[in-house]
Structure 1
């Protein structure tokens, strides 16, 4: 069963040190994708802008700067309030967003209660999937060679352990 934890909030898109604009956003965490968080930005275009990155980045980024490359996250204070900064980079451009820390931390806590760190792999059902994939299906015995001990005796068909005798008809 898939569980989803969502949070709507308003982030600030930083245009310059003196200017930012509000951007409605939705944070989403799904147990069927347990390592990732999804952020959807509604920027007034025809389609929203979606970003997906490791949940671990936000978990660590709440406390200290982390990430490199396309996604970096760090805590800071702006005008006396705690915010979580997200620097996003893509071939289309770069964006610096500020999210209020408290709602992000509360949402993150809900995701961590649902799937504690270190248990993400269990959510994927890989062991069950592999067992089903590798289990013999009806009719497989027609295609698999008979490897039972009775099928071949030493000395027969090149099996070591006995003298091979030439075929009488040879």
Structure 2
């Protein structure tokens, strides 16, 4: 899920803020070559079902993906997702982790994500916006109207 879904925003019910999570990940260049990379996970209470992940490159532009919160949460313990975003737990080792696979026409990247800090952070997001209420206040009428009407062309003055 990496498209902007801003027309689905819900009004913020809670003023609690979940600080961004910075994690050091390993991007697997091949089976034996990890490349350390930093990622910033953002939670927006106006769009609680979506987590924005910014992969911070040392050189060049950052890469931003929007990933379903439930996909990330489930991926800590079982295979989760399909298509362009998938996540599953790694085999047991000294540092519990999960694999996050991102695919598009332009890029395919596999990341090893430390499980414990991501799980704690996701738990904090669920305390602000529980899973069963994250879709309650979304503006479905506005979203469907925009979808059916198509994009509005700018008017010339």
Q: Give the alignment's TM-score, normalised by structure 2.
A: 0.74
2:130 match: 116
> Within 1, Cα distance between the matches of 2:68 and 2:86?
11
Task: Report the secondary structure of 2:47's partner residue.
Answer: coil
Aligned residue in 2 for 1:73: 87
- Whether the 8 Å contact between 1:12 and 1:22 is mirrored in structure 2 is yes
Q: Does 1:7 align with 2:44?
A: no
**Native 8 Å contact 2:77 2:89 kept in 1:** yes
What is aligned with 2:43?
Answer: 29
- Offset of 1:55 from its aligned partner? 0.7
Structure 2 vs 1, CA of residues 84 and 123 (structure 1 numbering), >3 Å: closer, same or farther?
A: farther
Q: Which has the larger radius of gyration?
A: 1
> What is the rounded CA distance, in whole Å, between the counterparts of 2:137 and 2:61 in structure 1?
30
Where does the alignment leave 5 or more consecutive residues of structure 2 unmatched?
A: 1-11, 143-157
**Partner of residue 74 from structure 2, selected from 47, 57, 60:** 60
- CA deviation after TM superposition for structure 1 residue 44, in Å: 2.2
Q: Any conservation in 1 of the 2:51–2:67 contact (CA below 8 Å)?
A: yes
Distance in 1 (alpha carbons) for counterparts of 2:28 and 2:118: 18
Query: Aligned pair count?
Result: 128
1:79 Cα deviation (Å)? 4.4
Contact map agreement 1:75 1:83 (CA 8 A) in 2:
yes
Please say if residues 18 and 124 of structure 2, whose CA atoms lie closer than 8 Å, have aligned partners that are also in contact.
Answer: no
Q: Which has the higher contact order (CA 8 A, sep 6+)?
A: 2
* 1:100 partnered with 2:137: no
